[in-house]
Each structure stands twice: as C-alpha cells, then as structure tokens.
Amino acid sequence: MADIQIRAVRKSYGKTPTLHGIDLSFDSGEFVVILGPSGCGKSTLLRMIAGLEDITAGEIAIDGRVVNKLEPRERGCAMVFQNYALYPHMTVAGNIGYALKVAGVAKAERERRIAETAKIVGLQDYLERRPAALSGGQRQRVAMARAIIREPKVFLFDEPLSNLDAKLRVTMRAEIRKLHQRLSATSVFVTHDQVEAMTLADRLVVMNRGHVEQVGRPLDIYHRPASTFVASFIGAPAMNLFTTRIEVETATVRLDGAAIAIDPLVAHALRGREVIVGIRPEQCRLTTEGKGLPARIDFVEELGVGRVIHCEIAGEAFAAAVAEDADVSAGDTVWLSLPPEQLHFFDAETGRRIEFPLPGTDIAAARGSASTTQHTGVLS
C-alpha cells in the first residue's frame, strides 16, 4: 500500500520531448488506468515509475519517498509486461520464485511462498513446466504470480492483456480486478483499450501526445469528456463531432438544413464563438419522418445488443446506435432526433470542453436576448 505522487515530470529522448510536465497523484490502494493511443507516453510514464527509464525533470514519490535515483528493486514496485517477459529456461516455479532467490530467501521458505502464490493464480499443477509449454493465459498468470510473490506496494501493468485473444482477455480482466480487491496494493495499469480502461479503473487518466487530457472516474469521463480528444477516444462508436456556430436569435445549433434548439442561456454564452458540438451515438433517437435530421444510411453494423447506423450529416461521418429490432438498412433515409440536453460543447480552437453556466454570465440578459424561451427537442 502506497500512494504515488508524480510532480511536473518530463521526459525527453535526446532533444525530442515525449512527456510535457505530468502532474498526477494516485491514492493508496487505488486502481488507476492510464489510457491513450500508442505513442502518447503512457508506457514511458509507467516505466519511469518502475525505474526502467530515467526521469528527465520533475520527481516521482512512492509512499512519500522520492524515488528518482532509486534502482527498480528499491522502489517496491512489481511489473507485468506486455509480452510477459518470462525467463524461458526456468520452470514456472523458477520464474515465480526468482525474485526471492535473488533476495536470498531460504529454499524452504521460498518453496512455501511459490506454492502459495501459484495457488492464487491457479497454477499449482504447472510448477514444473517451462513457459514454452504453457498457453497464453497461463503465461500471463505466471507473469502475475511473479509480481505478486514480491508483495509489492505498487503493481504496474504494461498492456498485459493485449497479447491474449478476446475471450481470455475478458476473463483475465475480471481476474486482475479480483486480485486487486484481494491484495489492495496500488495498481497502475496502462492500456490503449477503452473497454479495459472503463471496466478496471477506479480512476482513469487519459493521455494524448505527452499530456494528461483528463483525470477522473470512468463514468465522469464518459459523461463529461474534457476535450474533443477524450470525447472521441472514449466510447464505441466514437462521439459524433461537428464544427459549427450557434445562432443566438433562435437559440439553435445548425446542422445541414436542420437546427437543434438548445438552452438560450447556452446559446447566449456561446455567441460569436466557433464551437464543436458533440453527441454520443447512444443518445441519438430514431424519430418519425419529417422530424429531426434526415440521414441516408451508408451501412449498418450489427452488434447483437443493437445496431449502429453509419451515415453522413453536414459533411461529417455520423454514427447512431439504435435498437436491434430497428427497421433500418443501407440506402434508407431515417430521421434522427438529437436531444439537446445530451449535446456536448467544445471550443473549436482549443478543443476543450465548455461548461455551463460560464463564469460571469448575466442570466437575465441572456434570457432576454434569446427569442425562444423553451426548447422542444428538435426543430426541422
């Protein structure tokens, strides 16, 4: 159990900066997932916590102790690698017990703890095998057992599930979560898979191009993405985004020929600003002909639990999730209603989320300037 403080941490390889000042704080016993596309610096950050990469600037403290200059073994971290990195010439028992052997633990004690740890991950019958004779899932378990046996204060996971097939990944995900509840060590888990991130995390850190985009509980991030990057990265299919202008007089957002009425306060606050409007595919509704936005379906994706229709609105690709029994097929024209309370607004220039009410808004004036005082959903 240990908390982790990351203060103004930077990393450059030569002259190329990869992390631009990261400030994060992980509580003791928390399960933190760092999510981001490849090349965003998430693995680098993890490896800096582990001690496998030098810290160019800033400091990292584990359990209140600055670890910048400490060797990996002195930091109390254990790490599970993406390709497992098992020792190919050692048996499963040898792999699991290697850390104890290095630490000089007596043989009897070592064997007792190997057996104990193997039981936790369900490998007790495989102790004499070599890694080459194990399946992907079993190798993953060995890698985890190797981390567990050291009783670390911090667990670091570097995309440990990405080499497994889809089904096994779901199982191992559940096991990692259970394991965390059982051991309650602070865990930092790096992934580019948003489903993994959403399901595992107590707290989610979304990274992009060496910056932290947003930190928060998974659902908060899903419901209130802090930027267009987060909005499009979290959620499948991705959030629909449009660059547009708000019409203050009618308090509407214009998309193609159609207009969506919005809160006049919001319209007033956004007057004259170029904004990006977003809506999640799950929030779009099919409506009757003549209402909402018309859209010609390009193709339909079957997901089993529902269908996703792909079409084009205002020159942008648009996706909408509909019920599995919805009568839609490619080539049809459907009418979509976009509930105004589900719209997200982002600054077109910075891509950052715009929250309402904006500070300093004169609410009375705003109401006066808007000609519509109630919104009825979708205007056509």
Partner 1 sequence: MIQRTPYADAFTYAIMVIGFLLLLGPFLVVLAGASQTMPQVNAVPFSFLPQGEFMKNASAAWARADLGTAMTNSLIMAALVTAGKVALSACTAFAIVFFRTPLKHVFFWSVFITLMLPLEVRVVPTYAVAADLFQPIKSILGFFGLEIGIEWNLLNSYAGLTLPLIATATGTFLYRQFFMTLPDELAEAARMDGSGSVRFFFDMLLPLSRTNMLALTTIMFVYGWNQYLWPLLMVTDPSYKTLMMSLLALLPSDNGIPDWNVTLAGSLIIMAPPVIVVAVLQRWFVRGLVSSEK
- Least Å from the CB of residue 114 to partner 1: 13
Closer residue to partner 1 (CB): 52 or 259: 52
Closer residue to partner 1 (CB): 89 or 223: 89
* Distance (Å) of CA 93 to CA 11, 83, 112, 256: 37, 19, 11, 65
Closer residue to partner 1 (CB): 98 or 229: 98
Contacts of 104 (CB under 8 A, 6+ apart): none
In the region spanning residues 120 to 149, those forming contacts with partner 1, defined by CB under 8 A, are 132, 146
- Least Å from the CB of residue 187 to partner 1: 15
Print the binding letters for residues 65-104 with partner 1: x by CB under 8 A, - otherwise: ------xxx---xxx-xxxxxxxxx--------xx--xx-
Q: Are strands 378-379 and 77-80 parallel, antiparallel or unpaired?
A: unpaired
- Least Å from the CB of residue 30 to partner 1: 21
Q: Are strands 333-337 and 316-323 parallel, antiparallel or unpaired?
A: unpaired
Closer residue to partner 1 (CB): 158 or 196: 158
Size of the site for partner 1 (CB under 8 A): 25
Closer residue to partner 1 (CB): 85 or 115: 85
Instruction: Pick the binder of partner 1 from 113, 150, 192, 307 (CB under 8 A).
Output: 150
Amino acid found at 122: G
Which among 10, 42, 50 has a CA at the least distance from the CA of 192? Answer: 42
Report the SS3 class of residue 102.
helix
The rounded distance, in Å, linking the Cα atoms of 279 and 318 is 10
Which among 3, 12, 117, 98 has a CA at the least distance from the CA of 60? Answer: 3
Beta bridge partners of 355: none
- CA triple 349-353-355, angle to 5 deg: 125
Print the binding letters for residues 3-42 with partner 1: x by CB under 8 A, - otherwise: ----------------------------------------
The rounded distance, in Å, linking the Cα atoms of 147 and 155 is 7
- Least Å from the CB of residue 99 to partner 1: 4
Report the SS3 class of residue 221.
helix
**In 10 A of CB 304, how many CB atoms?**
6
Instruction: Pick the binder of partner 1 from 3, 20, 52, 351 (CB under 8 A).
Output: 52
Which among 200, 196, 168 has a CA at the least distance from the CA of 181? Answer: 200
Closer residue to partner 1 (CB): 132 or 305: 132
- Least Å from the CB of residue 105 to partner 1: 11
* Distance (Å) of CA 334 to CA 61, 235, 277, 278, 316: 55, 23, 21, 20, 16
Contacts of 167 (CB under 8 A, 6+ apart): none
The tokens 């109401």 sit on which residue?
367
Closer residue to partner 1 (CB): 118 or 248: 118
Closer residue to partner 1 (CB): 49 or 284: 49
Closer residue to partner 1 (CB): 84 or 242: 84
- Least Å from the CB of residue 98 to partner 1: 5
- Least Å from the CB of residue 27 to partner 1: 23
Q: Does 163 bind partner 1 (CB under 8 A)?
A: no
The tokens 């979290």 sit on which residue?
234
What does the binding site for partner 1 look like in residue numbers (CB under 8 A)? 50-52, 71-73, 77-79, 81-89, 98-99, 102-103, 132, 146, 150
